[in-house]
Each structure stands twice: as structure tokens, then as C-alpha cells.
Copies of this chain bind each other. A is one copy, B any other.
Amino acid sequence: MSDYAGLDLGGTAIKHGVVDRTGAVLAQGATATPPGGRDAILQTLAGIVQEYCRAFTLEAVGLGTAGAVDFESGTILGHSPNIAGWGNTPVRAELHRRLRLPVAVDNDANCMALAELHAGAGQGCRSLFFLTLGTGIGSAVVNDGKLWRGAHSLGGEWGHATIVHDGRPCACGQRGHLEAYASATALVARARELAGRDDPEPADARGVFAAAESGDRAARQAVAETVAYLASGIASAVNLLDPERVILGGGMADAGDEFLNAVETQTRARVHVGLAEHLKIVPAVLGNRAGFIGAALLARTDAGAGPT
């Protein structure tokens, strides 16, 4: 009865599952993202849902995907750097044609935020600011209990906010963005740079946090800088949005209490008058299930056939 399939498409894996109306997970799995571009991906996504159809009565399907999405039409905008051949795909229409089920498509950060709102760290809130700190930085805004989309369904983007005017190059081609200073990628690059080493260690953000904990000076400094940049970026967004709660997701949000407490303390010191006492920064709780849970919850409220 009234169950929903959720798909979370990333560059290496598709995480997926079935949830009920409340966001409770009834089944879940993961599948490698196929090489071969658009048709291979669409076929794999459809196959996952068809498999779930054997055990569940699905009302609708939701997809969260990397990259910018035109939510109204369910189309990927521009090129999608992490998934070859995915740009400009009319995903909603294509999946609907294959599945004959209502489909909703949004970017992955929006889906994660929706999951945390209804079934995670944002339960009971009417407004949220959500940041996911991973390879890049995704973000989403919840206002009045709903995802804030903006006038053209393109809002909620904070990873490419400028925090150092004309600063470090960002993956998007511009400079000085939060993503270039506070993503896992940026943290690892900065730790290596400070260490002055050519060897590829630490290999990932987890490695940098571990090295910092064991006293490595370069790693400690890289983490400290990342905390300060994140605090800058979060404080600016909080000044504008005044959200009930800030939720940090993605791999870096698992770095532990010391990191999160430092981010909260420094953000509190940077927000505008009156906001410090209300500031609340919490880690996401749904981990890497947030994407498909949120996609399924999106399907519950926003699924349709898309343009044909």
C-alpha cells in the first residue's frame, strides 16, 4: 500500500530503496552506476524499480541526482561533470515512459534535506539550512515545511557562494567558492599542501581527521582552516535565512563532535546580532540513506509524468 521507490544517483553508485508514507525504509540496496551514459543509466534505474515492483505496490518513484536539475520539467541542467552523458537528460519523462509510474526528480542535496526534515535531524522543524560536505558541497533550504526552490527552481545553492573574492579555483571554473575551501576535496588538498609532500597521503578527509587527531601539524592546521571557512559560509547563510536549524550532512559531518562543535562555536561568533543565541548546528542522522529516502518522499508529494 502506498509505498514509494527512491533512487539516489551518484558518480559511482546508485543507492535505492522503498519507503512508506512516513519515510520508514522497507527495503534498500545499492547498484554500481553503469558506464555508457544516458541510456545505460536510465535502463539501470528502471530495472531497479521494476525489481521493487515485484514485492511492493509502488505509488510513485523519486530520483535524486548529482548536478543541477530543472525541477519543474525533471531535466538535468547543463553538463553533469560527475556522470558522463547525463547532462540535459529529460529524466522525468524518460523514466515515466519506461515505468508508467509518476516520477519526481530533484538534485541530491534537496532530497537529502527533505529526508532529514521528515525522518531525520530536522523533524519538527519548519525551516532548515542543509549543507552536505563531500567531494563537493551541496545545499538546500527548507522554509515553511517545504523545500525552498526559488522563482526558477534553481535556488538553494550554497556550495558556490563566494567566501574569498577571487580566491582559490573552484571545480565549477570560478574562484573563491565555499566548495573550494571547505569540501572534503579541499580539505585533503590543503592538508597535502601544508605537509609539503608529493605523496598521495592522506588519501581522504577521514585520513586528514585521523592524522589531525594523532597530532599531525599540517592536518591540524588544514582542519582548523576548514572549520573557519565553513563558519564564515554558514554564518552568511544564517544571516540571510535565519533558519530554525542548520544540518550538516555528507562524509565530513561524521568527523565527530570536536569538529562539529568547533564549527558551531565559530559560526556563533560570526552571525549577526541576535542570531547567536538561536544558532543550532546538528549532524545529519540518515547517512547515505538520506538521498533515496528523500527522493521517495519527494515522489509522495511531487511526482508526475513530466513533459512528454
- Given A162-B270, A174-B270, answer yes or no on A152-B236 (Cβ-Cβ < 8 Å): no
Stretch at the interface among A51-59, A93-101, A116-124, A225-233: A225-233
Interface residues on A, range: 35 or more
Indicate if A2 sits at the interface (CB-CB under 8 A): no
* Residue A237 interfacial (CB < 8 Å): yes
Segment of A25-33, A214-222, A239-247 in the binding face: A239-247
Measured CB to CB, the nearest residue on chain B to A275 is B154
Q: CB within 8 Å of B: which of A35-87?
A: 68, 70, 77-78
Provide the bound-state CA to CA distance between A274 and B78, in Å.
Answer: 8
CA of A176 to CA of B242 in the docked complex: distance in angstroms? 20
Asked if residues A237 and B235 are in contact (CB atoms below 8 Å), the reply is no
- Chain B's closest residue to A242 (CB) is B150
Distance in angstroms between the alpha carbons of A298 and B36 in the assembled complex: 57
- The quantity of this chain's copies bound in the complex is 2
Within A137-194, which residues are at the interface with B (CB < 8 Å)? 139, 141, 143, 148-158, 160-167, 172, 174, 176, 181
Task: Give chain A's interface secondary structure class.
Answer: loop
Query: Is A21 engaged at the interface, CB distance under 8 Å to the other chain?
Result: no
Do residues A274 and B152 form an inter-chain contact, with CB atoms below 8 A?
Answer: yes
Output the least CB separation between A71 and chain B (Å): 11
| Cβ A162 vs Cβ B70 within 8 A | no
| Inter-chain contact A240/B162, CB cutoff 8 Å | no
Can you list 11 contacts pairing A with B, beta carbon distance less than 8 Å? A77-B273, A148-B241, A151-B278, A157-B240, A162-B233, A163-B163, A163-B165, A172-B272, A172-B273, A176-B232, A237-B240
A interface list, Cβ under 8 A from B: 68, 70, 77-78, 126-127, 139, 141, 143, 148-158, 160-167, 172, 174, 176, 181, 228-229, 232-233, 235-237, 239-244, 270, 272-275, 278
